[in-house]
Amino acid sequence: RSVIVVGPELKLNQCGLPKKIALELYQPFIIRKLKEHGLADTIKSAKRMLERRDAEVWDILEEVIYQHPVLLNRAPTL
């Protein structure tokens, strides 16, 4: 859960997502891609790479985000 705020540099069909939240949200996809690319041998080693925030993780995150868009829901205010 997070707060939706204005991003003046973003287009109307874009949203900003903090990297920490993106890693949490896309963790299963990142782990699978790390294994597919041969960057991690086991799920445990892939999780360690995520925790250390290795450079390869950020490249995989970009790939995963491109393939899995974010859907936002803004609840009405009272």
Q: What is the pLDDT of residues 10-37, one digit of tens each?
A: 888 888 888 889 999 999 999 999 999 9
Q: Is 70's pLDDT higher than 70? A: yes
Q: What is the DSSP annotation of 3-72?
A: -----TTS-TT-----HHHHHHHTHHHHHHHHHHTTS-SSHHHHHHHHHHT-HHHHHHHHHHHHHS----
Question: pTM here?
Answer: 0.80
pLDDT for the residue 78: 58
Residue 58 sits in a domain whose CATH number is 1.10.40.90
The answer to the question of residue 32 being in a domain is yes
Query: Domain tally for the chain?
Result: 1
Structural domain span for residue 29: 19-67
